[in-house]
Every structure is written in structure tokens, then in C-alpha cells.
Amino acid sequence: MRHAFLTAAALGLAMTQAQAQDLSLYAAGSLKAALSDVAADYAETYGTPVATSFGPSGLMRERIEAGETVHVFASANMRHPRTLESAGNGGPVALFARNRLCALARPEVEVTPETLLDVMLDDDTRLGMSTPKADPSGDYAFALFDRSGHAEALKAKALQLTGGPDSAAPPEGRNTYAWVLDSNRADLFLTYCTNAVLARKEVPELQIVQIPDALSVGADYGLIVLDGAPPEAWQLALHILSPSGQAVLAEYGFDAAAVPTGE
């Protein structure tokens, strides 16, 4: 699939046009910090501005399907870009980063990786998560619940606090997950480890709890160039996949999926 993406990119870049177009990049909310930096670096390097929009990947896909002009879409899963590809809206899809879930806890919560499942199941624990289908983070949380042996109990009690079309928005400038816990909306929240690190930078008292291997769920991030995009969109996609783009993602805690292993 990486070979197919590079072939498509080469064909796209071989096309010519009279004038470069500004680019539109839609991406998962968890990519906001990293891809904002990558987009700024691309714009400085190639002289083509990039308009970015970040949010839950499922909602972003729906906006694309509704006809919004988007050139590159970076999703927190492979399913949403593959859905667009299957519908003939672009492609191919390339894996460009990996992430995983962590638990973010308020300072007074007594929890360790070993006790995490018991704490999540405790009736007194307000367990927060994102919204499945709208936000892949919620889908990954449900996958974790399925691995726990207590799926129905956890799904029934979990509070879907972020990522949905009607989710409460944090105040301007606040990290979503820091705000959810700092405003006492949940005791424990399942989110990407990269989000958890950013949240604790804002509220240092928060705890980041690693999820045991038996429950751990990985997140594969997919990239697609949409039909009708200018050649520069392929250049932007390749910039994200390049060593410099991957290095930025790694700085923000993502596993750089596209860096050659040397094997």
C-alpha cells in the first residue's frame, strides 16, 4: 500500500497547473499540535499556505462526504479514509503514524496499571471516554472494554464526554482532556497517550496511567489525498510521510509509522 501511495503521489506531482493553490488539510484532533507544526514547515518550505481544520475523525469524514472542499485528510484510524476510498473519493490510503490509549486520572484517584481495570469497574469511579463512531478514540476505548472481560459493564457506565457532535466544548485555549478532568466531569478518562501528555503539561497534577498489555489497544492513523486535489496536496502528503514530518510526529509522542526500518 505504501508503494501504491508513492506511485499515486508521483503521478499527482507530475501534473502541471498554472498557479499553486492553497491547500486544505482536515485531521484528527489528536494531531492538532503535531500537524500544525508540519503544515507550517511545509508552507515555509514550499511557499504554499495550508488551511488546517481539526476534530473527531468520524465527523471530519462526514463533512467531506457532505461536499466540503478538502485536499488531504489525516484520520486517527484507517477505516474513515478507507471508507472515502471505497466510495471513490480518493486514495490510496497510507498508514503514517501510530498511537495508543492511556488512562488520564485526577490527582486524588488511587490507581496503577495493575489496578486500572478494578478502578474503572468501581461504581464510584466516573469513567470518561470519547464518542464511538464520531471519534476513533471512542472506538478504541470500546475495543479495550471488549478485551477486559467486562465489556457490557464498562460500556454501560462510561461517560461519552468528548468527540461527539453535541459534546461540550472546552474554553478557548484549554486542552480538552485537561479541562474535562480539571472541571471534575470525570475521575478517569481514556484517551490517546499523546493527548494525555499534552493534558498533563496544562495540569501537572494529573496522572498518566499506562494500560496493561492485556488490555492495550493500538491506533493506526491513515492519510488520504482526495479526488480533485491539486498536485501540491500530494506534496503535502509526502511531506507528512517524509523523515522530517515523521520526526515532528515522533516529538509529539506518535510512533513514526513511515520511517524506514532499514530492513
* Counts for the chain of helices (H) and strands (E), in that order: 11, 10
Question: Model pTM?
Answer: 0.86
Domain that holds residue 166: 99-209
If you ran DSSP here, which 8-state letter would residue 226 be given?
B
Residues 6 and 19 in one domain: yes
Q: Are residues 199 and 225 in the same domain?
A: no
Let me know if residue 215 belongs to a domain: no
On the question of pLDDT at 67 being above 50, the answer is: yes
Q: Considering the domain boundaries, does residue 49 fall inside one? A: yes
Q: How confident is the model at residue 157 (pLDDT cuts 50, 70, 90)?
A: very high
Three cell numbers, residue 216: 492495550
CB atoms within 10 A of CB 47: 9
Q: Are residues 62 and 147 in the same domain?
A: no
pLDDT in tens, 135-151: 999 999 999 999 999 99
Please state, in angstroms and rounded to a whole number, the distance separating the CA atoms of residues 13 and 11: 6
Asked if residue 113 belongs to a domain, the reply is: yes
As a whole number, the mean pLDDT across the chain is: 92
Give the C-alpha separation, 251 to 183, whole Å: 28
What's the structural domain count of the chain? 2
The share of the chain scoring above pLDDT 70, in percent, equals 89
Shared domain for 93 and 126, answered yes or no, is no
User: Is residue 148 in some structural domain?
Assistant: yes
Peptide bond into 92 cis (omega under 30): yes
If asked whether residues 104 and 196 sit together in one domain, one would say yes
Burial classification of residue 182, based on how many CB atoms lie within 10 Å of its CB (0-12 exposed, 13-18 middle, 19 or more buried) = middle
The answer to whether position 261 is within a domain reads: no
Do residue 90 and residue 162 come from a single domain?
A: no
CATH number where 28 lies:
3.40.190.10
Please report whether residue 194 resides in a domain.
yes
